[in-house]
Amino acid sequence: MNCSPVSRTGLAVLSIALLPLIASADLKVVSKTISQNTPAIPGGIPGAPTPSAAKKPGEPVLSTAYYKGKKVRVEEGDRVVITDNETGTIVTIDSKKKTFTTQKLADMASQVSPFTEMLEVKVDGALKPTEMKKPVAGRETRLYAGKFTMAMSVKEGAPIPLPAGDGPLMEIIIESEQWAAEGIQLDPKTQGPGFSPLPAGMMRMMPGMDSMMKKMTEIKGFPLSTAMKISFQSSLPLPGIPEKPVVIKTETVSVPEDALPDTLFAVPAGFKQVEPELPAFPGLGGGSR
């Protein structure tokens, strides 16, 4: 994958090595993401910008993530997602419409589980650290390379209008390169699984992601530069499945260490609460209520 920027000078690397560590402190991460072929479905692809965030394909989308204790706030355009990992609550705010939704991870799991229980998912793959290093946003990072294959098939007797059989209904191949800064250490439940700012509880609701996430916890530090290539192969012409691989590249712009106010993790006064959308999976259902 063509995602490795040109290395800086040895002097820059030396100065980065002398920077202090960040351990369980307030953290603000400003990054830009470029995605291609992202499907326009509710929820999209984990780690990718929402379909409406980019004005045109290939345009960089700026996002800001705030980490404070067990709470995470991610801003992307008019969309803000606040996750409280202590209470298992996710609040999604539409700054333009001045609306918000509130969901419990447990409730989201109950909505998804009837669907996921109909699928047989087998995951195979590995994540390996390398000796390659590069500076990102003033921090030294190490490359972790991974490749995972998720084979999804319909269980016998499942009430889905799709054939069940010996072969997989769909295979999802995820190739990733993650440049992690070991000097930035956060709680794994707060940080999320490597390539995505989504909380661990949300990721586990997706078929087969649990075993992949265990591999992701082997990454030492916080990924500041990531590149993912997600390919879909199906034996049937399923609606919503991208014909071309989804490519997502994220590069951190800055990592300031200033203290964060608690107000960042609260819904602004006067915003109206609305019903959330149901989770969705490419080609296999979900969407609005």
Give the Cα-Cα-Cα angle 71, 97, 72 (nearest 5 degrees): 10
Q: Regarding the domain with residue range 10-273, which homologous superfamily does it belong to in the CATH classification?
A: Lipoprotein localisation LolA/LolB/LppX (2.50.20.10)
Question: Cβ atoms within 10 A of the Cβ of 205, count?
Answer: 18
Q: What are the beta bridge partners of residue 127?
A: 146
Predicted confidence pLDDT, tens digits, the chain (289 residues): 333 333 332 322 222 222 333 344 789 999 999 888 876 544 444 444 554 555 676 788 899 999 998 888 999 889 999 988 888 899 999 999 999 999 887 777 666 556 667 777 888 999 999 999 999 999 999 999 999 998 888 777 766 665 555 567 788 899 999 999 998 877 666 655 444 544 555 555 565 666 777 777 788 888 999 999 999 888 777 777 778 898 989 999 999 878 999 999 999 999 999 998 755 444 444 444 4
Residues 228 and 178: their CA atoms lie apart, in Å, by 9
- The domain ranges of the chain are 10-273
Residue with tokens 């509710």: 42
Q: What is the pLDDT of residue 161?
A: 62
In this prediction the pTM is 0.75
Q: What is the pLDDT of residue 54?
A: 54
Residue with tokens 């889905």: 160
Residues 139 and 256: their CA atoms lie apart, in Å, by 11
Residue with tokens 């964060």: 260
Cβ–Cβ < 8 Å for 103, 276: yes
Q: What is the pLDDT of residue 205?
A: 57
> Which region holds residue 51: left if phi is over 0, alpha if psi is between -120 and 50, else beta?
alpha
